[in-house]
Structure 1
């Protein structure tokens, strides 16, 4: 697994935890950026700059990202989606719309891979379908 793939997974963990706890993702991010004390110090893995940038980016653009997902997830509301799928989609849509350093096909493939390992059997196909539609308009999204 590449360093960026690991960072996406760490960003997903932060965003998912924030949603599960009903708190702002930046609160969870701040908690994860602080090294623990005591016995957990040995197990702590720094979040990393890329994961932090993903969390901050998704959080800053959440309304637009969720709007794009809702518009292209035909027959599904955001609330009906499994939380992990919703979080995977948010990260990928952020990359498609706001991160020119990530080639769009890479953002889609990484999201599908996360869905394969973390979600339901149907999730990779669902994630790919939603992102495929958003990918078609990705050139218009970047820079807006």
Structure 2
């Protein structure tokens, strides 16, 4: 398993913890890292993902909700939602990561940590976001 995959899995676990506690998100992340310190070779990408999702969660959640027909965020499993948050963060803020890679990683991790339906659910929403962002980028280039 690659380093980035392991960093994504650790980011998922940390965000799951952050969601399950009443502490402020960055404090909860710090507490998680005190108990489960990320390995040095994963730390940079892990922190970029975890802190990036936390710091941009409102924007990311709006994007996910716009593309999740008839699904409110509070009804989604925490695993699926946090994987989509990580992928959406990568879409928006990690231009070095191809969107298809982010989608495939989220699907694969979802199959491991989520339910039998997680892969298809995650794929449907992330693919919709990917197509939407692609259209926006094309429109920007035409201007």
- TM-score by length of structure 1 reads 0.86
In the TM superposition, structure 1's runs of 4+ consecutive aligned residues that sit over 6 Å from their partners are: none
Distance 1:63 1:44, change over 3 A: closer
The answer (yes or no) to whether the contact 1:26–1:55 under 8 Å persists in 2 is: no
Q: Structure 1: any 5+ residue segments left out of the alignment? A: 37-42
Residue equivalent to 2:140: none
Q: Structure 2: any 5+ residue segments left out of the alignment? A: 138-143
The answer (yes or no) to whether the contact 1:14–1:25 under 8 Å persists in 2 is: no
1:20-59 superposed matches below 5 A: 20-34=20-34, 45-46=38-39, 48-59=43-54
Paired positions, count? 134
Residue 73 (structure 2) pairs with residue 64 (structure 1): no
1:6-21 superposed matches below 5 A: 6-21=6-21
- TM-score by length of structure 2 reads 0.86
State the secondary structure of the residue aligned to 2:73. Answer: coil
Give 1:27 deviation, angstroms.
Answer: 1.2
The answer (yes or no) to whether the contact 1:25–1:55 under 8 Å persists in 2 is: no
Structure with more of its chain in helix, by fraction? 2
- Counterpart selection for 1:108 from 103, 109, 115: 103
Q: CA RMSD in A?
A: 1.8
